[in-house]
Amino acid sequence: MRIEAVLGDITKQDVDVVVNAANSSLLGGGGVDGAIHAAAGPGLLAACRELRASRYPDGLPVGHAVATDAFELPARWVVHTVGPNWHAGERDPAALAGCFLASLEVAVDLGAHSIAFPAVSAGVYGWDLDEVARIAVASVRTWAVGTDQDRTTDGRPQGISLARFVLFSPPALAAFERELTTRPA
């Protein structure tokens, strides 16, 4: 699996899956969540309302992930995950790692080969950017170790071949690049 970090707009990524740093309501919010909902159009909100009504009446729990279509985004699917909120006392690194790991598992179940992640919990949820980068990169690398050798019966790779961290600012990009270069796989 190739893992990379880029500066950019996650709503413009031409990948199979875009990961949404959602709130537990799944009904939109600010930051990445608001941008994804705005770019995807009203179909995304309708799909999220259906998920709330059918599967998550109490909201999506922290560290879990669920997929919807991507509607007007270039991606095929949006995988919504709820990061832990530092300000609310949700400070367990395993909960944050769970966001990345659960998103990858959902993406594979969809048949995706490429995935774009934001810096989950690094915005309004208050986690330290360097800590998010460390946990995110380590989680994706750990997951990749167990899946890189997976092949179809005709020898083609299956599963995720590209994991891209799409960062909103030069400091965020620098934090992820440090993790990718100073702690190589």
The span from the CA of 66 to the CA of 58, in Å, is 14
16 annotated active-site = no
- The torsion defined by the Cα of 131, 136, 142 and 145, in degrees rounded to 10, comes to -140
The span from the CA of 143 to the CA of 87, in Å, is 28
What is the DSSP code string of 79-101? Answer: EEEE---GGGT---HHHHHHHHH
Nearest to 82, CA basis, from 101, 60, 103: 60
Question: Of these residues, 9, 16, 33, 148, which one is catalytic?
Answer: 33
Question: Which residue numbers are catalytic?
Answer: 33
